[in-house]
Each structure stands twice: as C-alpha cells, then as structure tokens.
Chain A
Amino acid sequence: MDELSWQEVVAAISQASTLAELKDWRTRWVGKHGRITELMKGLSDLPPEERRRRGQELNQAREAILAALTQREQVLTDRAEERALEAERWDLTLPGREPDTGMLHPLTRVRRRIEDVLLRLGFSLAYGPQVESEWYNFEALNIPPNHPAREMQDSFFVDIPGLVLRTHTSPVQIRAMEQHQGRLPVKIIAPGLTYRRDDDATHVPMFQQVEGLVVDHGISVADLMGTLTVMVQELLGGSVRTRFRSSYFPFTEPSLEMDVTCAVCQGQGCRVCKETGWVEILGSGLVHPTVLRNGGYDPDQVSGFAFGMGIERIAMRLYGLDDLRLLYQNDLRFLRGFRHQGGLR
C-alpha cells in the first residue's frame, strides 16, 4: 500500500491533534476517492484466489482505520467540549437565587401544630365571634354580674349594649354545646383571638387562645390529664415532664392548672421558674355543672372537661422567646429569621 502501511496510518490517526486532520485522513484513505476505496475498486481485475486474499486484507485495513478515526474523534471531541465548558466556569460560591416563597407567621404555625395534634386525637374545629355577648362570655360560663371572677379579666366593651370583646375562647364551649343540641360526644377545639385590657412584657391586649371541650358519658379528671399530657408531650417533646395543680376557674369544677418542666433550667430551678423547676402552661378542669346546663346538657347524666391555653405561650416556649411583644411587632427581620430551621415546624 504504497508509502504507508495501514498500521502506520492507524498510528498517525491516533496522534492527530485536530478534527480537521482526522477529516483529511478520512478523505485520503477511506473517503469516496480514498486510497483503500480505490484499491478495492481494482479488486475485480485480480484472479479469484488473489482477490479473496487481497479483499480480506483491504477490509481489515479499512476497519482498523475507521475504528481509529472514530476513537480519535471521540477523544478530540471530548477534549474540545472540556475546553469549551472550562471557559464557561462560574463562581458558584456566589449566593444562589433562593425560591421566592414566604413564611407563615410563627403564631399561625404554632396554632396549626396545636390543631394538628388535637385533630389527630379526634377534636373538631369550632369557632365563635370575637365580639361576643356578655351572656356567652360571662353569665353562661358561671360568671354572673358582680361575681369576683369578673375582676380577673378586665374587658373591653363596645358601643353596642350587652356586647364585649371576648376575654377568652371559652364562650365557644357554650356555642358548640348548643350546636350539638344534646348529641354526644361534643369534642371540639376553638382557636381564636381574645382581648383583655393589659399591655406589658407578659400581656398584650389582643392574644390567641385554643379552647378545648369534651362532653360525653363518663368523662373524668383522669381523661383530662391523659389527653393534655399526650398533647403537651407531642407539642413540646416527649421528654417534657408535666404536673397538675388544683386551681380555680368559675366555669370548671374541679379546676386544674398544668405545669411543664421549665425550658431554661430543665426543671432544676432558676429565676425564670422562680426556683420551682415548673412553669404554668394551661388551665383546665371538669366542665362546671352550671355550664353544662347552660349548654343544654344534664350534669347528672354527662360530664366533660375543658381547657384553654395561650398560643403565644406555647410559641415562646417552642422558639425560646422571652418577650411576648416580639410576636406582634411584625419586624420583618424577626419574621424572616424563621426561614431557618424554625421554618420547618
């Protein structure tokens, strides 16, 4: 095969440094008028024996050259691509463009967590108006006019006689019982805004509560304690310890306050918990017979438990806050801070 053996051609191809060189090799050797193509055309002039041998030889050479070309082409293409991509290198240490999503307010998220736990325990959601009648807010809940307990809650009144900004979510207890019209069980939670005439580091005039109410045959203090313990441990973590203390609310009898271990000292005793190791988390009790009666239920036949807790207090506990007012300041730096881990829950 003239000046070069096909082995030499293959060797030369594998050394080619540009795609143009390869093209040239291809044209010269295996193209339409390439040498091997030409030689193959001349095969017909040879005797059969010779033709077969020569033909095999030429085919072998052609295959080898084509394979070399393909292989080298791949190598050179890869190299070219590498160079091109290298030229496109970006500095990915620059900040990324984060998706433009917003954040729910921390109090909405905490409210939803509370609702979620209680929905899983079979509570339905119930609601009542924020501007409430004095009957639902006080009298029906066993707080008659001039009752000492009315002093406990300083109320906002509006310019429509007999109406008040509800001081707690407890009026929804009566509304829910009325709606159930004597059917059992009544098992609701009522989240919502409430109002009291107070404004300092631990009180805001508008705040959020979640009320809970269960009325059925045979409901007991033990049921109340079990339900609240499960709820609080689900919200604050299984390692939190709880205790109940005797207390007083006009609309429950007996009344219990629930404490959880202080988050600051883990129950060892510190200034936050007045050295007791405990902080109060909610108020609860068996529904007072008068309240059951006002809701249309016979206290000699059924019993119930109720509880009410401040969503802000749970939020402060969950997010380690010591000033309630931060939650209503709407400082975007504070709210956007929740995009970090806090955003998950």
Chain B
Amino acid sequence: MIVSYRWLSRHLERMPDPDTVQHGLEQLGLEVANRTTFGQEFEAVELVEVMRRVPHPASDHLSLVTVRRAQGEAVQVVTGAKNGHPGDRLWYAPPGTRLPDGRVLETRMLRGIESPGMLLSAEELGYQATTGDLWVWEGREALGTTFLDVIGGLDTLYDVELTPNLAQYLQSMRHLAQELGAIWDIPLVPLTAPFDYGDAPLADVLAPDRCPLYGLVAIRLKPGAASPLWLQTLLRAVGQRIIHPAVDATNFVLWDLGEPLHAFDAQQLHGTLQVRLARPYEVMTLLDGTTLELSARDLVIADDEGPVALAGIMGGARAQVHADTIAIWLECAHFSSEPIFQSYKRHRLVTDAALHFGKGTDPEAVLVAPRLVENILHQGGVLESVGPSVLKGSLPTPRQIVFDAPRISQLLGVTWTQEKIKTALTRLGYQLTASDVVVPRYRHDVSHIADLAEDVARFYGIEAIHPRLPVQRTALARRDEMHVLEEAVRDLVVSAGYDEVMTRTLVSPELEAQYLTGREGEPVRVTNPLREEESVLRRVLLPSLLEVVRYNRARHDLPIRIFEVGTVFSRVEDKVVESRELVALLSLEPVLAFPPRLQPSVYDLTGLADFLLTRLGWPGVRQAWDQVPSFLHPGRVQQIVVNGEPLGYVGELRPRLAESYRVKRLGVLALRWPQDIVTTPFHAARPSRYPEVQRDLSLVIGPRTSYQEIDQVIRRHGGEHLRAVYVVDRYEGEFGISLTVRLIFQSEVGTLTDEEVDRAVTDVVQALQSIDVGLRQ
C-alpha cells in the first residue's frame, strides 16, 4: 500500500517531518519497503501565456503558437490542438522534460518548423480537465509558476507492507493518521458530519448477517466536469488513475476512510436493489467483462433483472458508470469480512474493494462516506443534487474487554502505572468505562487482553521495554534418548572418517524403486510436488546419497567417504511412520597419495558396522543374506541383524550401478534404528594380573569355509582361558588359502603352564579338522 505524506497531513492538526513519519509508521509495525517522492516530473512544467496563434504554413491541422515565458522570453511551439488562443494561459514543458508516461521531450522539426518542447493537455500530465485539447489554466498564478507549485509541491510516498492483522484496519489514511497522531499526541482534524440518510424504498437487505449495514444514496451529476485538482493529485500520488468524478470520489473514500463505495449508473437499474445470496448457477458479467457463475455462497446486489454487483468485490457490467453518466446510486455498505474473503478467493478476483472488505472495514464509515462524496462532487462542480436515500440495518455492538492494567504490565514485563496504560489505549481510540475497554468497531483484530498489550507496546515503542532473563522455577533440561543416540551415531561415523551430507527427503519414485530391499512398504506421495523428481517421501536413504556421488563425480575426482543420518518414511494404512536410517558410502578405489594410504575395501565398512554396534551396545550380528536385492554385489554383502530384527546391510553396490555414478566400486552400509532399543549393559573389567600366552596357528582352509565358522570352533574349543582370537595374516597360494590366527590365553587365578596351553591348542586343532581345516605344514 502506498501512503502519501500529503494525504496523511489532511487528517492531522500538525505534521512532523517525513523522517519522523517513517519512524512512526515503523513503530506501528508497518514495514516501509521503499520511500519515493511524487511530483518531480512537474517541476519543469511551467505556466505560459499565448501571444499569437497562426496556422502552420505546411499543414492544414497544425498551428504555430507563440507563448510568453516568465522572463518575457517568447517560444514558438507547433501544436495540433484546437484550443490555445491569445490570452489563454497554458502549461508548457520545455525540451528535456520527462512526462508521466515516460516520454522525454526534445526539440522536433514538424513539417519544416522547429518546435521546442510541448504545450500540454491535462491527460499528458495524468490529470483530467474540461477545457478542451490543451489545459487552459483558470488560476491567477504568475507566469513561470510550475505545475508542481500549483499541486502543492513534492509529496513523500511510503510503500508500506501491512501484516495481515494491520491490514484489518490500517488500509486507510484516516486510521493511519489516527494511530500516528496517537503516538505523537497530535489531534485529528474532525471528520465531516454524518450523512443524513432518508428512508426511501431503494433497497432491501435479505441477508443481514452478511451485510449488517447498507446505505444507498441517489445523486444527480452535471455532465462534463472533472474532480478537484487536490483530489486528482492525491489519487495520482498513490497510483490511482483519474477516471470520472463519481468514480474518483469513491476511490478517494476507499483510501481515505478504508471504505469501498460503489456507484451504479441509476439509468441502467430496474426497480429497487436487493442484497441477497446468489441463486445457484446464476450468471453475471462483471465490469472487467468476465462472466461468472455464482453459487449460494456468493452475496450479490441485484435489481429486478438480476445481479448488478458481486457484493464487496466487483461491480457488474450492466450498471457500470460511464463518462456520460448523470445519475448514480451510491452504495455505502458494511459486509462481513470472512465470506467476502472466501468469495474473492474462490473466484480469484483480487480488487481493492475485496482486499478491504475481505479483511474488515469500519462500519461507522458508512455513516460519513456519502457526505464526503457529496462535498467532493460539490467542490468539483459536478454535483447537481442529492436525491432520496436509505440506510438498512444498524451498527454492530462494539466488543468489550475487561480492563486489567496489571495484567497488561505483566504481559509486557514492565511496571507501568494504570494511568500510563490508560493514556495509550485512549489515544489509540479505545473508550474506557469503569471496568471495561470498549474496542473501536474497526479494530477487528482485537479480542483479548494480549491484543491490548500489543497496542500499548506499539504505542510506547518496543524499545521502552527492558529485556531481562525470565525468573522461573528451575527445571531439569532434558534431551530425548532417541536423538541422543542419533547424534552419537553421527559423531561415531565422523570419527571413522566420513563426511556428513544432508539431502532432501523428497525423491523421485522411479529412482527410489531400484534401491528397495522389499521390506519398505508403500510410499507417502506428495499431491502437489514442485516437480515429479521430488514427489514421494523417501523410504530409503541410499538413492539420495548416490545422487550426491553423481553430483560430485561429475565435477571432481575426490574419494567418496560420506554418510547421512536422516528420516525415512513409510505408510502403514493411513498413518505415516518416520524412522531413522544411517547410510555410509565409500569409494573402493586405490588412493593415490604420498605418504601412502591403504586402499579402502568392503572390510572398512564391515568394520564400521561392528564398531557402531559395539560402541552403541546394540546386540547385533552380521550374517549371510538369502535374498540379496539386485542393486548389491551378491558375493560381497551381509545382512545386519539386531535381536533377530533385520536392520540393514553392509557390502558393495553392484559394480555396474556404481559405474553409472562414475565410481568403479562403491561400498555401502545401511543401518536402521531398532523399534525398541535394548543396549547391552557395559561393565568395566579389571585386567588379569597373570601373564598372557600367545600361540599362532597357520591354517589351510577351503575356498567356501568362512572365517566365522573357524572363529566359532576356536572359541568353542579353546577352553576357559582363551581370551582373544585375532587374524594376523591371510595368504592365498597354490595350496589354497592360509589364515594365521593368534590365540591369546590368560588365567584370572594363576600363571598358565605350557601343558595347559598345549592342551587347549591341541583341542582347537582337532576340532578344526572336523570342519576340514588343517594346520599348514
């Protein structure tokens, strides 16, 4: 909304400077997005007098008009205008002038004669006048007076953004001035007296709950008049076009009081007007030419032949005011805001009237508005007579809130006196009774003491409140166990050398489909996605991370060592289950580096899995997977099972797929959180005081024998003193695969003898033979 400094000043007894006004607007909670001036283009336009007018020698429709400027200088201008005779005073724009339509004037040759600048019509200045082609000025100002002077100089304009609550009552220069006057303690200029409505049978209200107050006034106009200059100037400044005196007057009241009025061409109406709900499928044509099919939810103004306006939103084409309209019916109404809001949303008709009525207007403006219009039309010489009128309905009862000054002080955290709070509320337009605050009828945003507190804060300025830390009973600040665990996983994986990434949870359904393990269930789909590639909530994290691989590999050759802990979604009937998943990816490529580094392998990921399970205390194991999904390498994958619940997998992506992301080989670990987290309790153990004995066994194993089996056999047969088993070497030769395992023996109660250890080793070797594992000779 554009706020005019000049317009505001009409309502206040005194006016502070434009900077103070901007600060005041900001204090009221309006954001001043931009500040400009209006009128610069009129600075060069000056009053001149016609001395001579002769026909153009080379044209039958052009004339040469010589005008006198302030210093006596004569200028000859070529014009096509029919008027502008000696003695007439005109508006002259010299070369270099930029006109409101953007044209920059220069000296032109017209049919062989030089013409510097231009003599102007009212339209060329963006105004309306009734004196013919050129604007013949009737005022007594001296020659050389600029057009800017006659409109009262430059105006300052504030482009303000209103929050929805302020839009409920501040889309009005009067109300803005009232609030500014309140904070500056400057009185308002009194409004004109209310209009004296009659009781003529012009209109009926059949839907009083939607239209509590409806006024209609018949007015006759004189033809061929224009709106007063000051009004045109104000409307121009806030970006309104000058259309017709009757329309200009209603536009003025719209921005002045925030009250949208509507003028019907009385000669196009048949019978009286009814304010009623539309009939189902009733059709009307609006003044912008569009045809609308209405429903019983819409409120219309109708005459005997059907709707002539969509109430509070837009007039109909049939009774539209034209340039030659001489009789109008002026509508001044108060509509309930909520249905108007819904109606304009439904029909997508955003008009100034809808934006006012749809947010809330001041019912009291209905009483004053016709008088204001009458005065304006009279000043412009447009008013012929005011005819019969009617007012249906009554003003709504104002809301009341119990006045509790201590509560207001408490909400703000101040120790202001009751008097101080009273002052703020009174100056802002509230009335105080013995126990209550009476809320002005236009304040649709105020219903609770918190709203009053806000007004008091705005009145004195937020900076008048001194910040402090709350004084409260102490309570223990808690963390959430699930999230503590999630953060622990992040820290563990970071400590293992992986970088965290953060991807979007909305993914492409096709891409995701390739990476499901079959246990995910149905997806949750977004019904209004921005794009198809982001139309489902992901059920698995892997595709999102693979996209990160693709993005990076397309740009550089950095090794991939990334992870994410994120939300995955699934649907169980009409419920959405949100769970947590960890996915880590590791490119399994040689690392070219000096000093050299180990080439990453799937063992890094199986090791990471064990590291996580151990550190988290989850009783989990890695085990063979019967039905490996096709996106994984079938020979290099294991399932991760915690308490019998399959929670993830670790292994290698199918190399063909990895290559499609520009990586030769890619390792992957995926792990979900268990439903119920049961952690293995940890107890610290005192190390044995007795020496440990170490024995290495070099074993030869078959190609299908897993280390897991060997480990189990060794642990089962290694006796009570076997403390640990390590693999210290693995070698593949002609004889097959050789594994060297180191067994550590130690007793809690004494030093072990060689015989005791030998016996245990012999048992182990014998047991290993049963699974075809022998000692290497």
Contacts and interface: CB of A to CB of B under 8 A. Distances in A.
B466 A125 contact: no
B341 A146 contact: yes
Contacts of A157: 526-528
A253 B450 CA distance: 6
B555 A331 contact: yes
Contacts of B342: 146
B103 interface: no
Contacts of A181: none
* Residues of B in contact with A, size category: 35 or more
Contact of A103 (B28, B474, B499): B499
Contacts of B561: 102
A174 interface: no
A221 B457 contact: yes
Contacts of B506: 156, 195, 205-206
B477 A123 contact: yes
B457 A327 contact: no
Contact of A336 (B411, B499, B505): B499
A34 interface: no
Contacts of B503: 328, 330
B467 interface: yes
Contact of A223 (B413, B453, B463, B556): B413
B571 A125 contact: no
A105 B500 contact: yes
A129 interface: yes
Contacts of A306: none
A237 interface: no
Contacts of B341: 146, 148
B504 interface: yes
B683 interface: no
Interface stretch (B40-48, B248-256, B478-486): B478-486
A282 B99 CA distance: 44
B576 A163 contact: yes
Given A157-B528, A205-B506, A130 B567 contact: yes
Interface string A293-312: 00000010001000000000
B218 to A, nearest CB: 36
A97 interface: yes
B529 A102 contact: no
Nearest to B524: A158
B737 interface: no
A168 interface: no
Given A157-B526, A219-B470, A222-B413, A122 B490 contact: no
A202 interface: no
Given A199-B530, A247-B29, A131 B578 contact: yes
B478 A124 contact: yes
Contact of B552 (A108, A123, A332): A332
A116 to B, nearest CB: 11
Nearest to B165: A248
B548 A330 contact: yes
Given A158-B525, A159-B527, A216 B477 contact: no
Nearest to A285: B454
A335 interface: yes
B677 to A, nearest CB: 16
A289 B450 CA distance: 8
B200 interface: no
Nearest to A159: B525
A330 B551 contact: yes
Contacts of B574: 160
Given A94-B594, A102-B497, A130 B505 contact: yes
Given A129-B576, A185-B472, A222-B466, A146 B500 contact: no
A218 B465 CA distance: 15
B322 interface: no
A7 B555 CA distance: 79
Given A125-B480, A146-B338, A243-B463, A108 B469 contact: no
Given A193-B505, A193-B567, A253-B450, A97 B495 contact: no
Interface in A82-135: 94-97, 100-105, 107-108, 112, 119, 121-127, 129-131
Contacts of A329: 551
Given A103-B494, A131-B578, A330 B470 contact: no
A279 interface: no
A120 B164 CA distance: 36
Which of A121, A123, A148 is most buried by chain B, counting CB atoms within 10 A of its CB? A148
Nearest to B528: A157
Which of B31, B164, B450, B463 is most buried by chain A, counting CB atoms within 10 A of its CB? B450
Contacts of B502: 105, 107-108, 327-328, 330
Interface in B426-455: 448, 450-451, 453-454
B512 interface: no
A214 interface: yes
Nearest to B461: A246
A220 interface: yes
Given A123-B477, A245-B26, A222 B468 contact: yes
Which of B502, B503, B552 is most buried by chain A, counting CB atoms within 10 A of its CB? B502
Contacts of B127: none
Nearest to B474: A122
Interface string B547-573: 010011001101011110001010100
A177 interface: no
What are the 7 closest A-B residue pairs judged by CB atoms, nearest first? A222-B413, A220-B413, A248-B163, A246-B29, A254-B454, A100-B497, A225-B467
Interface of B: 26-29, 31, 163-167, 338, 341-342, 345, 359, 410-414, 448, 450-451, 453-454, 457-458, 462-463, 465-470, 472-480, 483, 487, 490-491, 493-506, 524-530, 534, 537, 548, 551-552, 555-556, 558, 560-563, 567, 569, 571, 574, 576, 578, 594-595, 597
Given A220-B411, A246-B457, A330-B551, 13 more contacts: A104-B494, A119-B477, A124-B476, A125-B478, A160-B574, A214-B470, A245-B26, A245-B31, A247-B163, A253-B450, A253-B451, A253-B453, A253-B454
19 contacts: A103-B500, A105-B502, A122-B472, A122-B475, A123-B477, A125-B479, A148-B359, A160-B574, A185-B473, A220-B411, A222-B467, A223-B469, A225-B465, A247-B29, A253-B454, A255-B163, A332-B552, A332-B562, A335-B500
